[in-house]
A = this chain, B = another copy of it.
Amino acid sequence: MVEWLAAGSAPVFNVCCALIVLEMAALAFATPLLRVKRNVWLNEEDAQRFSGTVADVEHRDVARVIRAHRNQLENFVPFFALGLLWIAGGTSSRVGDGLFVAFTLARIAHLVFYLARMGRLRTASHTVSFIVLLILAGGVAWRSIVGI
């Protein structure tokens, strides 16, 4: 398994995965900080700790960060799964590299546009990463079926 990293698109894939994880970590870090600022809490023990308000729905600004985070997660999961199977299946590493980089750039753009409240560009960047996932899914399935 050690030689796997050296072969094919693995280094590019690894760096892309690390970048997206760091992006999600930044969101996970920002969420409680913003909650402290807005001081609206879903957990009673937190509201008590910070002398804030208890609510059943997150403050609108916090909810936006959580939605951005959820969107990253629900896109990263298929990306990681299919990217790994793409590499493991020995599918073209040059195409793979291009797809991995395009996905990662689109995901970083998506976060920026989401937080900057730019709806059209957010949709555009989501479309790019969505198309990459469809190509990866098609490639992995095709390769496996032909490979049988």
* Chain A residues with a Cβ under 8 A of chain B: 1-7, 10-12, 14-15, 17-19, 21-22, 24-25, 28-29, 32, 42-46, 48-49, 56-57, 60, 63-64, 67, 69, 73-74, 76-78, 80-82, 84-85, 87-90, 117-120, 123, 130, 133-134, 137-138, 140-141, 143-145, 147-148
Question: How far is A29 from B145 in the complex, measured between Cα atoms in Å?
Answer: 26
Interface centre among A19, A29, A49, A74 (most CB of B within 10 A): A74
Identical copies in the complex: 3
What residues on B are CB-neighbors of A80 within 8 Å? 77, 81
Evaluate whether A5 and B49 lie within 8 angstroms (CB atoms) in the complex, with A25-B78, A25-B130, A134-B25 already known: no
Shortest beta-carbon distance from A3 to chain B in Å = 8
What residues on B are CB-neighbors of A56 within 8 Å? 57, 60, 63
Shortest beta-carbon distance from A55 to chain B in Å = 10
What residues on B are CB-neighbors of A12 within 8 Å? 144
